[in-house]
Structure 1
Amino acid sequence: MQGLNIVVGVSGGIACYKAVELVGALVKLGHHVDVVMTRNAEEFVTPLTFQTMSRNRVVRGMFDKVDRYDTEHISLAKRAQVFIVVPATANIIGKIAGGIADDMLTTTIMAAKCRKIIAPAMNTAMWENPILQENLEKLRRHGYEVLGTASGRLACGDLGEGKLLPWEEILEIVVGKAVMLDRTDQIQTNH
Protein backbone atom coordinates (compact mmCIF):
# COMPACT_ATOMS: atom_id res chain seq x y z
CA MET A 1 0.00 0.00 0.00
CA GLN A 2 1.25 3.45 -0.88
CA GLY A 3 1.38 6.03 1.92
CA LEU A 4 -1.34 8.63 2.32
CA ASN A 5 -0.92 12.41 2.10
CA ILE A 6 -2.01 13.51 5.56
CA VAL A 7 -2.33 17.05 6.87
CA VAL A 8 -2.12 17.34 10.64
CA GLY A 9 -3.54 20.59 11.99
CA VAL A 10 -2.27 21.41 15.47
CA SER A 11 -4.12 23.96 17.61
CA GLY A 12 -2.97 25.42 20.92
CA GLY A 13 -3.56 23.05 23.78
CA ILE A 14 -1.35 21.19 26.23
CA ALA A 15 -2.06 17.95 24.32
CA CYS A 16 0.13 19.19 21.44
CA TYR A 17 2.90 16.89 22.61
CA LYS A 18 0.73 13.88 21.73
CA ALA A 19 0.41 15.19 18.18
CA VAL A 20 4.22 14.97 17.93
CA GLU A 21 4.03 11.23 18.64
CA LEU A 22 1.22 10.81 16.11
CA VAL A 23 3.16 12.60 13.36
CA GLY A 24 6.27 10.49 14.03
CA ALA A 25 4.26 7.25 13.89
CA LEU A 26 2.52 8.26 10.64
CA VAL A 27 5.88 8.98 9.00
CA LYS A 28 7.32 5.66 10.23
CA LEU A 29 4.37 3.91 8.59
CA GLY A 30 5.29 5.51 5.26
CA HIS A 31 2.79 8.37 5.07
CA HIS A 32 3.63 11.87 3.85
CA VAL A 33 2.70 14.32 6.63
CA ASP A 34 2.33 18.08 6.39
CA VAL A 35 1.84 19.90 9.67
CA VAL A 36 -0.09 23.16 9.95
CA MET A 37 0.26 24.90 13.32
CA THR A 38 -1.68 27.76 14.81
CA ARG A 39 0.26 30.51 16.56
CA ASN A 40 -1.19 29.32 19.87
CA ALA A 41 0.14 25.79 19.24
CA GLU A 42 3.64 27.26 18.98
CA GLU A 43 3.36 28.26 22.64
CA PHE A 44 3.34 24.55 23.56
CA VAL A 45 5.55 22.84 20.94
CA THR A 46 8.02 24.44 18.54
CA PRO A 47 7.63 24.14 14.77
CA LEU A 48 11.13 22.62 14.67
CA THR A 49 9.87 19.62 16.64
CA PHE A 50 7.14 18.92 14.07
CA GLN A 51 9.52 19.66 11.20
CA THR A 52 11.94 17.06 12.55
CA MET A 53 9.21 14.43 13.03
CA SER A 54 7.43 15.07 9.72
CA ARG A 55 10.59 15.70 7.66
CA ASN A 56 8.72 18.61 6.07
CA ARG A 57 8.59 22.36 6.54
CA VAL A 58 5.87 23.26 9.04
CA VAL A 59 3.20 25.60 7.72
CA ARG A 60 2.46 28.33 10.24
CA GLY A 61 1.09 31.62 9.02
CA MET A 62 -0.92 32.83 6.07
CA PHE A 63 1.79 35.28 5.12
CA ASP A 64 4.97 33.33 5.84
CA LYS A 65 7.61 33.70 3.16
CA VAL A 66 7.91 30.69 0.86
CA ASP A 67 10.58 29.72 -1.63
CA ARG A 68 8.13 29.09 -4.49
CA TYR A 69 4.92 30.59 -5.79
CA ASP A 70 2.09 28.57 -4.36
CA THR A 71 -1.29 29.32 -2.89
CA GLU A 72 -0.28 27.08 -0.04
CA HIS A 73 -3.58 26.57 1.74
CA ILE A 74 -5.16 25.48 -1.56
CA SER A 75 -2.30 23.20 -2.65
CA LEU A 76 -2.18 21.53 0.79
CA ALA A 77 -5.96 21.08 0.74
CA LYS A 78 -5.87 19.54 -2.75
CA ARG A 79 -3.01 17.19 -1.87
CA ALA A 80 -4.57 15.95 1.40
CA GLN A 81 -6.23 12.57 1.51
CA VAL A 82 -6.84 12.89 5.25
CA PHE A 83 -6.92 16.08 7.33
CA ILE A 84 -6.88 15.68 11.09
CA VAL A 85 -6.94 18.44 13.70
CA VAL A 86 -5.18 17.20 16.83
CA PRO A 87 -5.58 18.54 19.42
CA ALA A 88 -8.73 20.36 18.42
CA THR A 89 -9.43 23.04 21.02
CA ALA A 90 -12.87 24.54 21.67
CA ASN A 91 -11.63 27.66 19.88
CA ILE A 92 -10.59 25.92 16.66
CA ILE A 93 -13.74 23.76 16.68
CA GLY A 94 -15.87 26.92 16.99
CA LYS A 95 -14.01 28.59 14.14
CA ILE A 96 -14.36 25.61 11.80
CA ALA A 97 -18.03 25.11 12.68
CA GLY A 98 -18.70 28.83 12.17
CA GLY A 99 -16.94 28.95 8.80
CA ILE A 100 -14.27 31.30 10.12
CA ALA A 101 -11.08 31.03 8.06
CA ASP A 102 -8.69 33.53 9.63
CA ASP A 103 -5.49 31.51 9.92
CA MET A 104 -3.66 28.86 7.92
CA LEU A 105 -5.27 25.90 9.67
CA THR A 106 -8.87 27.07 9.33
CA THR A 107 -8.34 28.30 5.77
CA THR A 108 -6.77 25.03 4.67
CA ILE A 109 -9.38 22.76 6.25
CA MET A 110 -12.12 24.91 4.74
CA ALA A 111 -10.63 24.29 1.27
CA ALA A 112 -10.06 20.54 1.82
CA LYS A 113 -12.44 18.04 0.23
CA CYS A 114 -10.89 14.95 1.78
CA ARG A 115 -11.68 12.93 4.89
CA LYS A 116 -11.63 15.33 7.88
CA ILE A 117 -11.15 14.23 11.48
CA ILE A 118 -11.49 16.32 14.64
CA ALA A 119 -9.70 15.04 17.77
CA PRO A 120 -10.92 17.26 20.64
CA ALA A 121 -8.98 18.04 23.81
CA MET A 122 -10.03 20.48 26.53
CA ASN A 123 -11.16 20.95 30.12
CA THR A 124 -14.24 18.98 31.18
CA ALA A 125 -16.36 22.13 31.66
CA MET A 126 -15.50 23.25 28.13
CA TRP A 127 -16.16 19.73 26.76
CA GLU A 128 -19.60 19.67 28.41
CA ASN A 129 -20.50 23.20 27.25
CA PRO A 130 -23.67 22.98 25.11
CA ILE A 131 -22.27 25.44 22.55
CA LEU A 132 -19.23 23.21 21.98
CA GLN A 133 -21.46 20.15 21.67
CA GLU A 134 -23.64 22.00 19.11
CA ASN A 135 -20.51 22.89 17.15
CA LEU A 136 -19.38 19.26 17.14
CA GLU A 137 -22.82 18.13 15.98
CA LYS A 138 -22.72 20.72 13.21
CA LEU A 139 -19.35 19.39 12.07
CA ARG A 140 -20.72 15.83 12.06
CA ARG A 141 -23.66 16.94 9.89
CA HIS A 142 -21.14 18.38 7.44
CA GLY A 143 -19.24 15.11 7.17
CA TYR A 144 -16.45 15.59 9.69
CA GLU A 145 -15.47 12.60 11.81
CA VAL A 146 -15.54 13.79 15.41
CA LEU A 147 -13.64 11.60 17.85
CA GLY A 148 -14.56 11.26 21.48
CA THR A 149 -12.32 12.11 24.39
CA ALA A 150 -10.76 10.12 27.20
CA SER A 151 -11.56 10.54 30.86
CA GLY A 152 -8.97 11.11 33.55
CA ARG A 153 -6.85 13.75 35.25
CA LEU A 154 -6.59 16.88 33.13
CA ALA A 155 -3.66 19.31 32.97
CA CYS A 156 -5.53 21.70 35.29
CA GLY A 157 -5.88 18.97 37.91
CA ASP A 158 -9.59 18.30 37.33
CA LEU A 159 -10.88 14.78 36.76
CA GLY A 160 -13.29 14.11 33.92
CA GLU A 161 -13.88 13.94 30.18
CA GLY A 162 -11.97 16.07 27.71
CA LYS A 163 -8.54 14.45 27.49
CA LEU A 164 -7.20 13.79 24.02
CA LEU A 165 -7.50 10.14 23.08
CA PRO A 166 -4.17 8.27 23.22
CA TRP A 167 -2.22 8.94 20.04
CA GLU A 168 -2.11 5.20 19.30
CA GLU A 169 -5.92 5.10 19.12
CA ILE A 170 -5.94 8.16 16.88
CA LEU A 171 -3.36 6.50 14.63
CA GLU A 172 -5.60 3.46 14.21
CA ILE A 173 -8.54 5.69 13.31
CA VAL A 174 -6.53 7.68 10.76
CA VAL A 175 -4.94 4.78 8.89
CA GLY A 176 -7.07 1.82 9.92
CA LYS A 177 -5.99 -0.94 12.27
CA ALA A 178 -5.38 -3.58 9.56
CA VAL A 179 -3.27 -1.20 7.47
CA MET A 180 -1.32 -0.08 10.52
CA LEU A 181 -0.54 -3.67 11.60
CA ASP A 182 0.50 -4.63 8.06
CA ARG A 183 2.81 -1.63 7.74
CA THR A 184 4.29 -2.22 11.20
CA ASP A 185 5.08 -5.83 10.24
CA GLN A 186 6.82 -4.60 7.08
CA ILE A 187 8.86 -2.03 8.98
CA GLN A 188 9.97 -4.63 11.52
CA THR A 189 10.84 -7.14 8.78
CA ASN A 190 12.94 -4.59 6.89
CA HIS A 191 15.07 -3.57 9.90
Structure 2
Amino acid sequence: MAQDPTPPLHAQRILLCVCGGIAAYKAADLVRRLQDAGAQVRVAMTENATRFVGPATFQALSGQPVRTSLWDEAAELAMGHIELARWAQRILIAPATADMIAKLAHGFADDLISTLCLASEAPVTIAPAMNHRMWGHPATQANVATLRERGVGFLGPGEGRMAEPESGPGRLLEPHEIVSALEQAAALAQEARA
Protein backbone atom coordinates (compact mmCIF):
# COMPACT_ATOMS: atom_id res chain seq x y z
CA MET A 1 0.00 0.00 0.00
CA ALA A 2 1.45 3.35 -1.06
CA GLN A 3 2.07 5.88 1.65
CA ASP A 4 0.55 9.33 1.29
CA PRO A 5 3.17 11.91 0.31
CA THR A 6 4.21 14.37 2.97
CA PRO A 7 2.13 17.55 2.70
CA PRO A 8 4.20 20.45 1.28
CA LEU A 9 3.85 22.55 4.43
CA HIS A 10 4.53 19.65 6.82
CA ALA A 11 6.53 20.91 9.81
CA GLN A 12 7.33 24.19 8.04
CA ARG A 13 7.77 26.95 10.63
CA ILE A 14 5.60 29.87 9.54
CA LEU A 15 5.57 33.18 11.36
CA LEU A 16 2.21 34.81 10.66
CA CYS A 17 2.41 38.58 11.06
CA VAL A 18 -0.98 40.27 11.42
CA CYS A 19 -1.34 43.98 10.68
CA GLY A 20 -4.18 46.30 11.66
CA GLY A 21 -7.14 46.31 9.34
CA ILE A 22 -10.63 44.89 9.23
CA ALA A 23 -9.32 41.81 7.40
CA ALA A 24 -7.34 40.84 10.53
CA TYR A 25 -10.26 38.64 11.58
CA LYS A 26 -9.48 36.32 8.63
CA ALA A 27 -6.03 35.63 10.08
CA ALA A 28 -7.62 33.49 12.80
CA ASP A 29 -8.95 31.10 10.15
CA LEU A 30 -5.57 31.28 8.41
CA VAL A 31 -3.80 29.97 11.54
CA ARG A 32 -6.07 26.93 11.66
CA ARG A 33 -5.76 26.22 7.94
CA LEU A 34 -1.96 26.48 8.05
CA GLN A 35 -1.90 24.04 10.96
CA ASP A 36 -4.26 21.69 9.13
CA ALA A 37 -1.78 21.78 6.23
CA GLY A 38 0.95 20.60 8.62
CA ALA A 39 2.70 23.90 9.40
CA GLN A 40 3.94 25.02 12.79
CA VAL A 41 2.56 28.52 13.30
CA ARG A 42 3.54 31.37 15.57
CA VAL A 43 1.88 34.78 15.48
CA ALA A 44 3.13 38.34 15.80
CA MET A 45 0.74 41.28 15.69
CA THR A 46 0.99 45.02 15.29
CA GLU A 47 -0.57 47.12 18.01
CA ASN A 48 -3.28 48.18 15.55
CA ALA A 49 -4.08 44.54 14.75
CA THR A 50 -4.95 43.98 18.41
CA ARG A 51 -7.73 46.55 18.02
CA PHE A 52 -9.47 44.21 15.56
CA VAL A 53 -8.67 40.75 17.01
CA GLY A 54 -7.26 39.97 20.44
CA PRO A 55 -3.95 38.14 20.91
CA ALA A 56 -5.75 35.55 23.07
CA THR A 57 -7.56 34.33 19.95
CA PHE A 58 -4.30 33.60 18.18
CA GLN A 59 -2.70 32.11 21.29
CA ALA A 60 -5.61 29.70 21.69
CA LEU A 61 -5.49 28.69 18.02
CA SER A 62 -1.71 28.41 17.66
CA GLY A 63 -0.96 27.04 21.12
CA GLN A 64 1.95 29.49 21.26
CA PRO A 65 2.50 32.85 22.94
CA VAL A 66 1.66 35.77 20.67
CA ARG A 67 4.10 38.65 20.32
CA THR A 68 2.58 42.12 20.07
CA SER A 69 5.42 44.44 20.94
CA LEU A 70 9.11 44.83 20.34
CA TRP A 71 9.26 45.86 23.99
CA ASP A 72 7.89 42.68 25.57
CA GLU A 73 10.07 42.76 28.69
CA ALA A 74 9.97 39.03 29.39
CA ALA A 75 10.93 38.10 25.83
CA GLU A 76 13.46 40.84 25.26
CA LEU A 77 15.66 39.61 28.09
CA ALA A 78 16.51 36.75 25.75
CA MET A 79 16.39 38.83 22.53
CA GLY A 80 12.96 37.37 21.74
CA HIS A 81 12.51 39.10 18.40
CA ILE A 82 15.85 37.72 17.16
CA GLU A 83 14.95 34.21 18.35
CA LEU A 84 11.59 34.43 16.59
CA ALA A 85 13.24 35.74 13.41
CA ARG A 86 15.64 32.78 13.47
CA TRP A 87 12.84 30.30 14.18
CA ALA A 88 10.82 31.28 11.10
CA GLN A 89 11.31 29.37 7.86
CA ARG A 90 8.78 31.65 6.18
CA ILE A 91 7.26 34.96 7.19
CA LEU A 92 3.69 35.51 6.04
CA ILE A 93 2.23 38.98 6.53
CA ALA A 94 -1.55 38.73 6.30
CA PRO A 95 -3.22 41.11 6.20
CA ALA A 96 -0.49 43.54 5.19
CA THR A 97 -1.35 47.22 5.29
CA ALA A 98 -0.01 49.95 3.02
CA ASP A 99 1.91 51.22 6.04
CA MET A 100 3.69 47.90 6.61
CA ILE A 101 4.49 47.53 2.91
CA ALA A 102 6.03 51.03 2.97
CA LYS A 103 8.06 50.24 6.11
CA LEU A 104 9.47 47.08 4.57
CA ALA A 105 10.25 48.75 1.24
CA HIS A 106 12.23 51.47 3.00
CA GLY A 107 13.94 49.34 5.64
CA PHE A 108 12.23 50.73 8.73
CA ALA A 109 12.45 48.72 11.93
CA ASP A 110 10.25 50.71 14.28
CA ASP A 111 7.86 47.96 15.37
CA LEU A 112 7.95 44.22 16.01
CA ILE A 113 6.98 43.05 12.53
CA SER A 114 9.25 45.34 10.53
CA THR A 115 12.12 44.45 12.88
CA LEU A 116 11.42 40.72 12.53
CA CYS A 117 11.48 41.00 8.74
CA LEU A 118 14.83 42.80 8.76
CA ALA A 119 16.32 40.36 11.28
CA SER A 120 15.22 37.19 9.49
CA GLU A 121 16.71 35.39 6.52
CA ALA A 122 13.39 33.62 5.89
CA PRO A 123 11.50 34.38 2.69
CA VAL A 124 8.70 36.91 3.14
CA THR A 125 5.26 36.58 1.57
CA ILE A 126 2.81 39.47 1.74
CA ALA A 127 -0.98 39.22 1.43
CA PRO A 128 -2.14 42.84 1.11
CA ALA A 129 -5.47 44.18 2.32
CA MET A 130 -6.51 47.80 1.96
CA ASN A 131 -8.91 50.18 0.25
CA HIS A 132 -8.65 49.96 -3.54
CA ARG A 133 -7.49 53.58 -3.77
CA MET A 134 -4.69 52.90 -1.29
CA TRP A 135 -3.66 49.79 -3.23
CA GLY A 136 -3.65 51.66 -6.53
CA HIS A 137 -1.80 54.71 -5.21
CA PRO A 138 1.55 55.28 -6.99
CA ALA A 139 3.42 55.27 -3.67
CA THR A 140 2.01 51.85 -2.73
CA GLN A 141 2.69 50.45 -6.18
CA ALA A 142 6.28 51.74 -6.07
CA ASN A 143 6.77 50.09 -2.67
CA VAL A 144 5.34 46.81 -3.99
CA ALA A 145 7.68 46.97 -7.01
CA THR A 146 10.66 47.56 -4.72
CA LEU A 147 9.78 44.56 -2.55
CA ARG A 148 9.17 42.31 -5.57
CA GLU A 149 12.61 43.27 -6.91
CA ARG A 150 14.04 42.08 -3.58
CA GLY A 151 12.29 38.72 -3.89
CA VAL A 152 9.33 39.32 -1.61
CA GLY A 153 6.31 37.30 -2.74
CA PHE A 154 2.82 38.75 -3.03
CA LEU A 155 -0.46 36.84 -2.78
CA GLY A 156 -3.23 39.06 -4.04
CA PRO A 157 -4.86 41.29 -3.38
CA GLY A 158 -8.16 40.00 -4.63
CA GLU A 159 -11.02 42.03 -5.98
CA GLY A 160 -14.44 42.37 -4.49
CA ARG A 161 -16.52 44.04 -1.86
CA MET A 162 -14.58 45.35 1.09
CA ALA A 163 -15.58 46.75 4.48
CA GLU A 164 -16.80 49.96 2.93
CA PRO A 165 -19.59 49.81 0.34
CA GLU A 166 -17.07 50.02 -2.52
CA SER A 167 -15.34 47.17 -4.28
CA GLY A 168 -12.18 46.76 -6.28
CA PRO A 169 -8.64 45.42 -5.91
CA GLY A 170 -7.37 45.47 -2.35
CA ARG A 171 -9.32 42.68 -0.70
CA LEU A 172 -7.37 40.09 1.30
CA LEU A 173 -7.39 36.72 -0.41
CA GLU A 174 -9.45 34.12 1.42
CA PRO A 175 -7.44 31.99 3.87
CA HIS A 176 -7.86 28.83 1.79
CA GLU A 177 -6.46 30.68 -1.26
CA ILE A 178 -3.42 31.83 0.72
CA VAL A 179 -2.72 28.34 2.07
CA SER A 180 -3.19 26.80 -1.38
CA ALA A 181 -0.68 29.24 -2.90
CA LEU A 182 1.85 28.51 -0.13
CA GLU A 183 1.37 24.75 -0.63
CA GLN A 184 1.94 25.10 -4.38
CA ALA A 185 5.11 27.13 -3.83
CA ALA A 186 6.40 24.63 -1.25
CA ALA A 187 5.64 21.69 -3.56
CA LEU A 188 7.56 23.36 -6.40
CA ALA A 189 10.48 23.98 -4.06
CA GLN A 190 10.42 20.31 -2.98
CA GLU A 191 10.43 19.18 -6.62
CA ALA A 192 13.34 21.49 -7.42
CA ARG A 193 15.37 20.00 -4.54
CA ALA A 194 14.59 16.41 -5.61
TM-score of the two chains, using structure 2 as the length reference? 0.87
1:20 is paired with a residue whose SS is helix
Map of 1:84 onto structure 2: 92
Tell me if structure 2 keeps the 8 A contact 1:27–1:53: no
- 1:35 maps to which of 29, 43, 52: 43
Residue 25 in 1 paired to residue 42 in 2? no
Map of 1:120 onto structure 2: 128
TM-superposed CA distance for 1:86, in Å, is 0.2
Map of 1:14 onto structure 2: 22
Map of 1:160 onto structure 2: 168
- Rounded Cα–Cα distance in structure 1 between residues aligned with 2:76 and 2:146: 37
Residue 53 in 1 paired to residue 61 in 2? yes
- Rounded Cα–Cα distance in structure 2 between residues aligned with 1:44 and 1:59: 15
TM-superposed CA distance for 1:30, in Å, is 2.8
Tell me if structure 1 keeps the 8 A contact 2:105–2:143: yes
Return 5+ residue gaps in structure 2 as ranges. Answer: 1-5, 188-194
- Rounded Cα–Cα distance in structure 2 between residues aligned with 1:103 and 1:55: 23
Residue 102 in 1 paired to residue 110 in 2? yes
TM-superposed CA distance for 1:68, in Å, is 8.2
Map of 1:130 onto structure 2: 138
TM-superposed CA distance for 1:41, in Å, is 0.2
- The AA in structure 1 aligned to 2:145 is E
- The AA in structure 1 aligned to 2:23 is A
Q: Which aligned runs of 4 or more in structure 1 are off by greater than 4 angstroms?
A: none
Map of 1:75 onto structure 2: 83
Residue 44 in 1 paired to residue 52 in 2? yes
Gap change, CA 1:78 and 1:67, over 3 Å in 2: closer
Gap change, CA 1:156 and 1:33, over 3 Å in 2: same
- Rounded Cα–Cα distance in structure 2 between residues aligned with 1:39 and 1:66: 17
- Rounded Cα–Cα distance in structure 1 between residues aligned with 2:11 and 2:169: 33
TM-superposed CA distance for 1:29, in Å, is 2.8
- Rounded Cα–Cα distance in structure 1 between residues aligned with 2:178 and 2:66: 21
Tell me if structure 2 keeps the 8 A contact 1:120–1:162: yes
- Rounded Cα–Cα distance in structure 1 between residues aligned with 2:130 and 2:76: 37
- Rounded Cα–Cα distance in structure 1 between residues aligned with 2:117 and 2:174: 23
- Rounded Cα–Cα distance in structure 2 between residues aligned with 1:125 and 1:85: 20
Return 5+ residue gaps in structure 1 as ranges. Answer: 180-191
Map of 1:63 onto structure 2: 71
Map of 2:192 onto structure 1: none
- Rounded Cα–Cα distance in structure 2 between residues aligned with 1:68 and 1:116: 23
- The AA in structure 2 aligned to 1:17 is Y
Of all paired residues, the percent bearing the same amino acid is: 41
